[in-house]
Chains A and B, each alone.
Chain A
């Protein structure tokens, strides 16, 4: 059925039809729709900002970069990866290069849209930190 393959019904695809071509033009994909992000999703995108990685290396990087404060279990990681794939913030990536750790694994990388969302979320967090500094919750950087 048509709706099964089109769960995001709010995000309409409008077709520009001409005599020669019929191509879909995506509209309504708004960065704001994805903000604020959950902490785990944000860290997944942050891990992928450095380049394509497979699931386990994403988990490892999150754990290491947060000194073990954020530990994402495999089930939650792949559930969030599924959501990020559907939202087109990340995409699967076929490694053709033997330098990748394990070519049999699924690799993921940030899309251009995902990078924009990550940038906006980072700006939002920075603004929150600035607000906390203004309210003297944390000291100002000298």
Chain B
């Protein structure tokens, strides 16, 4: 017979575990949250029946040790499922080094400043990446992160636009070279990705 204290500890554990489950992707929760809750509840009951609160503590240690890695792995897997042919990553990998060159030209060959400005480029990339990730997402927490990231990226974008306009007024030639430096590799990367995507579209099954 399970004591009142143990029943309380089990109920509290299940509630705390429900909070942890919120960290997993919405689609994963929709599929498995009920099963996970039920399995965890039984796990706690068995541990308490065999070893009392020490058993429950062991269950919690296992759960907490597993938690960070499983959250990251689940998000990564779900992300890969959502965007198997994502063009965003190669595009960003092209844009980042090009942006350094362009920034260097705009800022007057100050490489250190260019690398500092990379943070703003990363903010744009993060916003695009998040926008792609958010498509179809329903979690309120994810939406809040998305809105905050978009706000930060927009502020950075406006600041950079102002800076570019100032540079354009001061030295139109250098900014034109900068834009060309960005446009040519980006266009080339997009064209090659388009071709790869078109090839894969042809090979895809009829659905």
User: Which A residues are within 8 Å of any B CB, using their own CB?
Assistant: 2-7, 9, 12-15, 24, 54-56, 59-60, 71, 73-79, 81-83, 105-106
Contact = CB atoms under 8 A, between A and B. Distances in A.
Nearest to B23: A75
A9 B28 contact: no
5 contacts: A3-B85, A73-B70, A75-B70, A75-B71, A76-B70
A12 B201 CA distance: 11
Interface string B195-207: 0000010011111
Interface in B156-198: none
Interface string B78-96: 0011101100000000000
A106 B73 contact: no
B32 A78 contact: yes
Contact of B205 (A12, A71, A76, A106): A12
A59 B39 contact: yes
Contacts of B69: 76
A74 to B, nearest CB: 4
B152 interface: no
B115 interface: no
A82 B29 CA distance: 12
Contacts of A2: 204, 207
A74 B40 contact: yes
A54 B205 CA distance: 33
Contact of B28 (A12, A24, A59, A79): A79
A106 B34 CA distance: 10
Interface residues of B, number: 36
B28 A105 contact: no
Most buried by B among A56, A59, A73, A106: A73
Contacts of B77: 79, 82-83
B205 A6 contact: yes
A45 to B, nearest CB: 18
Contacts of B200: 9
A10 to B, nearest CB: 10
Nearest to B24: A75
A77 B39 contact: yes
A55 B39 contact: yes
Contact of B43 (A3, A54, A56, A79): A56
Most buried by B among A56, A74, A77, A105: A74
Nearest to A68: B58
Contact of A24 (B38, B70, B81, B205): B205
Contact of B42 (A13, A56, A75, A76): A56
A81 B85 CA distance: 24
Given A78-B28, A78-B32, 8 more contacts: A55-B38, A56-B43, A75-B67, A75-B71, A75-B74, A77-B39, A78-B36, A82-B77
A6 B200 CA distance: 12
Interface string B33-69: 0011011101100100000000000000011011101
Nearest to B84: A7
B131 to A, nearest CB: 16
A18 to B, nearest CB: 15
